[in-house]
Structure 1
Amino acid sequence: MPDAARHPGLDEVVAQYRVPLLRFFQRRVEHFEDADDLVQDVFSRLAAQDLAAIANVQGYVFQVAANVLRDKARRANVRSIMSPAPEGFDIEDEAGFSPERILQSREALQIMIAALYELPEIVRVVFSQYHFDGVAQVEIARRTGLSLSTVEKHMARANGHLLHRLRKAR
């Protein structure tokens, strides 16, 4: 019973949303057995939240589910990028990672960092939390006290500014 006292409503949320979340994930993942793990991930994230303070629990539950799915996709993408190269594979020949290409990438990174610092601090914070820390926009809005719409506008402003600066540098 101590868990219920710490997380009011969690048991009810689990009972109400377990099956809908399973269906949600089963429609979106390749392997059905992954859906159970993803549902558990959603509930573990919800356990850390004050569910009583959330106005639209259903919307929040499925936003968390979408974030879990996005995180799974990111991890899969990183794993595919980080997989070891087959023996005899020359990364410089295959991927074009020549010293010149590496230098261009470093210059682009420096341009992006400089462009980030040209933005107002709150826009930079929103962008950094989303892209570098993997925080969902809904959570950023909650943390900063901004509306979700404002967070989305800050993201759009930051992305547009960075793209503009990168294109200008070419």
Structure 2
Amino acid sequence: MVENYYRELVCFLNARLGNRQSAEDVVHDAYLRVLERSSETPIKQPRAFLYRTALNLVIDDHRRNVIRQTEPLDAVDHEEQLFSPSPQATMDHGQRLEMMQRALAELPYLCRECFTLRKIDGLSHPQIAERLGISRSVVEKHIVNAMKHCRVRVRQWDIG
């Protein structure tokens, strides 16, 4: 499946972005997008689909940065006031966060630790590997497995 392309895609994006950390972040986001897709239709060309998803994320991020640089600060502040989350949205966010915490608690220690060190603490894969005394490929597998598990569990709980 798409897990086989992780390192290849990180290297590809690193060459374009010039920053391995940013490349890894984009790849993680691309994996999440692919894993969270709601279509039941199988992906015919998973490698191409994953690359296109990652490149779209890079383009979207670039567009957001360009807009952010040209928009006056007071306009952004005004929009933030208009679009502050409703109490219902805040409650939904809290419920989703609780579901994520429950899903993470179900994971084996090393899998959960890799995921939290990456997503919460912002450590790179080599830093996590060194801290935990495991290989980078094991770190990558744990993070992908944690993302899959959380996605599946949150979907199950959302439906139920």
Q: Secondary structure at the match of 1:167?
A: helix
CA distance in 1, matches of 2:22, 2:81: 35
CA distance in 2, matches of 1:149, 1:87: 41
Q: Identify if the C-alpha distance between structure 1 residues 89 and 144 changes in structure 2 by more than 3 Å, giving closer, same or farther.
A: same
1:67 counterpart = 2:21:
yes
Q: Secondary structure at the match of 1:138?
A: helix
Q: Which residue of 1 aligns with 2:75?
A: 86
Q: Which residue of 1 aligns with 2:94?
A: 106
Q: Which residue of 2 aligns with 1:151?
A: 139
Residue segments in structure 1 that go unaligned for 5+ positions in a row:
1-23, 30-64
Q: Secondary structure at the match of 1:111?
A: helix
CA distance in 2, matches of 1:70, 1:149: 13
CA distance in 2, matches of 1:87, 1:122: 41
Between structure 1 and structure 2, the one with the greater Rg is 1
What is the CA-CA distance between 1:149 and the residue it aligns to?
1.3
Q: Secondary structure at the match of 2:123?
A: coil
Q: Where in structure 2 are the equivalents of 1:11-160 lying within 5 Å?
A: 28=17, 65-67=19-21, 86=75, 89=78, 91=80, 93-94=82-83, 97-160=85-148
Is the 1:92–1:98 Cα contact (8 Å) retained in structure 2? Answer: no
Q: Which residue of 1 aligns with 2:10?
A: none
Instruction: Tell me which stretches of 4 or more aligned residues in structure 1 moved more than 4 Å.
Output: 68-71, 90-93
Query: After superposition, what is the alpha-carbon deviation per residue over 1:93-134, rounded to whole angstroms, capped at 9, x for unaligned?
Result: 536x21111111100000001111111111111111101111
What is the CA-CA distance between 1:86 and the residue it aligns to?
3.1
Q: Normalization by structure 2: what TM-score?
A: 0.52
Query: After superposition, what is the alpha-carbon deviation per residue over 1:6-56, rounded to whole angstroms, capped at 9, x for unaligned?
Result: xxxxxxxxxxxxxxxxxx88x647xxxxxxxxxxxxxxxxxxxxxxxxxxx
Q: Normalization by structure 1: what TM-score?
A: 0.49
What is the CA-CA distance between 1:135 and the residue it aligns to?
0.6
Q: Which residue of 2 aligns with 1:168?
A: 156
Question: Percent same amino acid at aligned positions?
Answer: 29
Aligned residues: 104
